[in-house]
Amino acid sequence: MLQSRVPIPHEPLPEDALLETAITAGRKAGALLLQYTADGFRIEYKNPINLVTEADHAAEQCVIDHIRGRFPSHRFLAEERGSVEPTPSPYLWIIDPLDGTTNFTHGYPAYCVSIGLEYKGRCILGVIYDPSRNELFTAIEQRGVQLNGRSIHVSETMTLDNSLLVTGFAYDIRETPRNNLDHFCKFAVKAQGLRRTGSAALDLCYVAAGRFDGFWEVRLNPWDMAAGSVIVREAGGRLTDFSGKDLSIYGQELVASNGQIHEAMLTVLNQESPQA
């Protein structure tokens, strides 16, 4: 018997519920982090410069509990506990409960909660909350990006000469030759200014908001990039690896920019380092 080809209806994503859930989770975890800064916290050492605090663990639990309460079948990839997969689901929440732990432990107020969502392998939602400044960055694919409810956009800076750039260094900086110091030196003499804030997720938000013109880093993890990549994309920015290929959050290398200075950044990143 001939079967008629009826197209399978495309199930609309519950975008508003997903966003609202991520926002509430981010705000709750952010409030918890502030509470720990007031009350104090225990610190453990993953290596001499890679710290984790009880606040990291508590914030992670808080985010997962909240999201799981609304979406019990969804999967999670979270920095401190790794992959949590109760069922096969097209939804994967990618969470950094405290991005900027070193800053946090020193009372330097540059840290945030970062919550990204992949649907069928594509990052579609990003929520990043900076509790110290009460700044909430939210983005959903094709619906733009907001900072505290107002649309934001990348900068229009055209040249490296006029750019404020930012970067970061991984925790194995003492062990690996791929430590980013070579790139740092090259950009230091090409850019108008260069910063290292200590929170990759906020660095991405600041590119989206036009506060930075470009950001690069090596050896990042998916939870550093998931939410921020949607935020930069929706703000009109460009995201690639060092060879110019579209960003994969599983690929460690990241270049994020306003688009205008992207090729110039790639050129610098691919220059041979002068021999010592």
Residues of the shown chain interacting with ligand IPD in the complex, contacts defined by CB under 6 A: 96, 99-101, 168-170, 198-200, 217, 220, 224
- Residue 99 is a binding residue for Ca ion (CB under 5 A): yes
Task: Write out the binding residues for Ca ion, residues 27-86 only, by CB under 5 A.
Answer: 79
User: Quick check: 93 and 82 in contact, CB under 8 A?
Assistant: no
Q: Which of 156, 157, 181 lies closest to 168 in space, CA to CA?
A: 181
Nearer to ligand IPD, 140 or 225 (CB): 225
Q: Which is nearer to ligand IPD, 143 or 186 (CB)?
A: 186
Q: Which does 113 bind (CB under 5 to 8 A by kind): Ca ion, ligand IPD, none?
A: none
For Ca ion, which residue of 60, 96, 203, 217 counts as binding (CB under 5 A)?
Answer: 96
Q: CA–CA separation, 211 vs 217, rounded Å?
A: 17
Q: Which does 260 bind (CB under 5 to 8 A by kind): ligand IPD, Ca ion, none?
A: none
Q: Which is closer to ligand IPD, CB of 155 or CB of 199?
A: 199
Per-residue tokens: 166: 């930012």
Q: Give whichever of 17 and 188 is closer to ligand IPD, judged by the CB atom.
A: 188
Q: How far is the CB of 220 from Ca ion (least distance, A)?
A: 8
Sequence length of the chain is 276
Q: Which does 163 bind (CB under 5 to 8 A by kind): ligand IPD, Ca ion, none?
A: none
Give the shortest CB-96-to-ligand IPD separation in angstroms. Answer: 5
DSSP 63-92: HHHHHHHH-TT-EEEETTTEEE-SS--SEE
| Spatial separation of the C-alpha atoms in residues 268 and 194, rounded to whole Å | 14
Which CB sits closer to ligand IPD, 132 or 199? 199
Tell me which residue has its CB nearest to ligand IPD. Answer: 168
Q: Is 179 helix (H, G, I), strand (E, B) or coil?
A: coil
Burial (0-12, 13-18, 19+ Cβ within 10 Å), 12? exposed
CB-CB contact of 253 with 260 (8 Å): no
List of residues contacting Ca ion (CB under 5 A):
79, 96, 98-99, 224
